[in-house]
Amino acid sequence: MQNIIVGTAGHVDHGKTCLIKALSGFDTDRLKEEKKRGITIDLGFANLPNDAGLHIGIIDVPGHEKFVKNMLAGIGGIDLVLMVIALDEGVMPQTTEHFEILKMLHIRQGILVLTKSDLVDEEWAQLVEADVEDLVQGSFLEHAPVIRVSSFTGENIDLLHDRIIQMVSDLGTRCEEPELFRLPVDRVFTTEGFGTVITGTLQEGMVQAGAEVMVYPRERPIKIRGIQSHGRKEDAAIAGQRTALNLLNVKKEDLKRGDVLAYPGSLVPSALVDVKLSIFQTSDRELKSGDRIHLNYGSAQTIAKAVLMDQDRIARGESAYAQLRFDEPVVLKRNDRFIIRFLSPVETFGGGIVLDASPCKHRRGDPQVMESLGIKEKGTDLEVMELMIKEESRNFPCAGRIAANMDLPKSRVVQLMGSLKESKRILILSDDSVIHMDHWKKISDYGEALLAEYHRENPINEGMDKEEFKSRLSEQFRIKDIRKGAALLAELVKRMVVRTQGAYVSGKDFSTTYSRELKGMLEQIGTLYARAGIEAPLTAEVADRFKDKNRARQIIADMHKNGRLIKLNPASYMDSRAYDQVLADLKGYLAVHGEISLGEFRDLCGTSRKYAVQLLEFMDKKKITKMVGDKRVLIH
């Protein structure tokens, strides 16, 4: 079933609330002060009855200039606007202000409703109509229906009702991709027996009862207990519905107008937002770079510092790229529309569109920044995605993060990523995170250079410790997630940039090399171990014989790698030829006697108990011998 939101707009006391009551039978003024003063202060809501099988919600917004922020909390989620102008007063200040807001928010459909027709004569009505036509010329309302009505006498109310039904029937549906569920909160209250309830217009996506969602921008998890829409209990709500959600495990005081409900990970809170700002053609004010402004988006209002990227100021009818900087994170999406107002005096003077909802901080006047903002404004989805991946590569975004930034279904993001991968513009790592090939080249070049330097300093080491290599990569590229180091190393190996062996990483073509000096040390160490025979010295004692102890240890390790030494334990190595001889002697003895005691082995080797124990324990560990009682026998 199609879900449509109709909203009102217009000057205070032009009959918006009475019009809705005449259309729907429902009085949207719910506050005592509204009844007392006879004006709408906050948002009001009603349903429009119809026989067309449509769900049509109506939002009544306040017209008084003091309550424009409340008007903005409701007007952004509408599909069709009833632009209300009273015939007895004509176009007034808030008529113009609301009209400029509607244009800035890109509302595309509307009806010009001229109220209080019973209070004026035909000549006056025609003059007002002419003024209205001048106002809307060249806008989305230029060819909109113009209907005179009287909520008091009922004149043309049925005609207006039928025209609304006709127009909304031709409107398309909003994006109903479930994963894009987003609902800006415009009311929070409690009901006896149910607890906390929020209401709002479901902006996009779908949500079901029982779903676990997140309150943004604080990223607090909550669960949806129940759903109501148009006065009925529902199992699910979809884009375009006025929706009430009964929430579990959250107090009324923990929520407020302006909060946004969405699925975990689908929005990215950020204190920086890239935008294109535009000043109303009707405004007499100008915006200077660095000015603090009110920003109204969805149902929220917050304060931002507007930093113009390549201009010092913009005035009436002008536009500019800017970065909005907030004291606390906000949640917006690419292509979201918003309105800007001065702090003092509070005055609506423009608005804009979001180009990037979570950028890095920019420097003013940077040509590269201006180029990227141009792509974000006018580029194709593929071009924008490549740029975003390029800028986000340090953070290793995944498809979900990119979908959240671009306000696209994940399936579409995966499709675009496939195209970029095929054209070798991006690289998808083993953990499904993605980086741009330009960033990958920096990582690859750094990895090669890092190992080349290591091998120059350690020509006989088999390589750098894997953990150290990953740590150095992470430090160089500010990688916070240690798991990314493993994914990068795997990709470097896969692309044959480096190779791994055991716990070490080396350059793809590396082999140990000995200088004349190192060859001299190698010969000395080899002679030392050969003379020691089975009475293996401690490694530390061998290293202490040399001025460069660390290099001596490296040579010993390389001799072990190449089979010249046997590593008996963490502290000792032994000449491999001496070991082979003692092993042969042991096997010959056991072939005759079947078993051997520690003392017999000591005498066989002609050594002390200390070295005999060391050798037998090594052979036990290697599964050559095993203990049976107090003697050893051959396993194989």
Query: Model-level pTM?
Result: 0.76
Residue 239 pLDDT class (50, 70, 90 cuts): confident
Residues 17 and 139 in one domain: yes
φ and ψ at 506, to 5 degrees? -140, 165
**527 lies in a domain?**
no
**492 lies in a domain?**
no
**503 lies in a domain?**
no
* Confidence check: pLDDT of 287 > 90: yes
- Mean residue pLDDT of the chain comes to 88
Higher pLDDT, 177 or 115: 115
CB half-sphere exposure, 263, CA atoms < 13 A: 18
Pairing of strands 146-148, 110-115: parallel
Average pLDDT over residues 471-493: 89
Average pLDDT over residues 596-605: 93
Report percent pLDDT > 70 for the chain.
Answer: 94
b/e burial code for range 355-384 (CB count within 10 A of at least 16 → b): bbbbbeebebeeeebeebbeebbeeeeeeb
* Confidence check: pLDDT of 376 > 90: yes
H-type alpha helices, 278-398: 367-378, 381-392
Residues 359 and 377 in one domain: no
Residues 384 and 419 in one domain: yes
Residue 48 pLDDT class (50, 70, 90 cuts): confident
Residues 4 and 49 in one domain: yes
Q: Per DSSP, which regions of 331-485 are E strands?
A: 337-342, 347-356, 426-428, 434-436, 464-465
Residue 273 pLDDT class (50, 70, 90 cuts): very high
The pLDDT value recorded for residue 187 is 87
Q: Are 205 and 181 in contact (CB under 8 A)?
A: yes
The pLDDT value recorded for residue 213 is 95
Q: Are 359 and 324 in contact (CB under 8 A)?
A: no
The pLDDT value recorded for residue 245 is 92
Residues 255 and 186 in one domain: yes
pLDDT digits (tens, 9 = 90+) for 610-630: 999 999 999 999 999 999 999
Residues 182 and 304 in one domain: no
Residues 183 and 332 in one domain: no
Residues 232 and 320 in one domain: no
The pLDDT value recorded for residue 172 is 66
Average pLDDT over residues 42-70: 68
- Taking the C-alpha atoms of residue 222 and residue 213, their distance in angstroms, rounded to an integer, is 6
**Which helix H or strand E contains 420, and what residues bound it?**
helix 410-422
Residue 332 pLDDT class (50, 70, 90 cuts): very high
**339 lies in a domain?**
yes
**506 lies in a domain?**
no
> Residue 292: which CATH number?
2.40.30.10
Residue 174 pLDDT class (50, 70, 90 cuts): low
**402 lies in a domain?**
yes
Boundary residue ending a domain (424, 439, 465) = 424
Residues 353 and 308 in one domain: yes
Residue type, 84: V
Residues written for the chain? 636
Residues 332 and 391 in one domain: no
Which position has the token pair 């080249």? 441
Residue 34 pLDDT class (50, 70, 90 cuts): very low
φ and ψ at 302, to 5 degrees? -145, 180
> Residue 609: which CATH number?
1.10.10.10
Residues 379 and 309 in one domain: no
Residues 130 and 33 in one domain: yes
Give the number of domains in the chain.
5
pLDDT digits (tens, 9 = 90+) for 548-588: 888 888 889 888 988 999 999 999 999 999 999 999 999 99
Higher pLDDT, 237 or 323: 323
**Which residues are CB-contacts of 406 (< 8 A; sequence separation ≥ 6)?**
334, 381, 384, 385, 388, 413
**444 lies in a domain?**
no
Boundary residue ending a domain (308, 338, 370) = 370
Q: Which of 582, 590, 570, 577 is nearest to 611 (CA)?
A: 582
Segments forming the whole domain that contains residue 256: 176-260
Report percent pLDDT > 90 for the chain.
Answer: 61
Average pLDDT over residues 294-305: 91
**95 lies in a domain?**
yes
Boundary residue ending a domain (213, 238, 260) = 260
Q: Which of 521, 535, 529, 588 is nearest to 560 (CA)?
A: 529
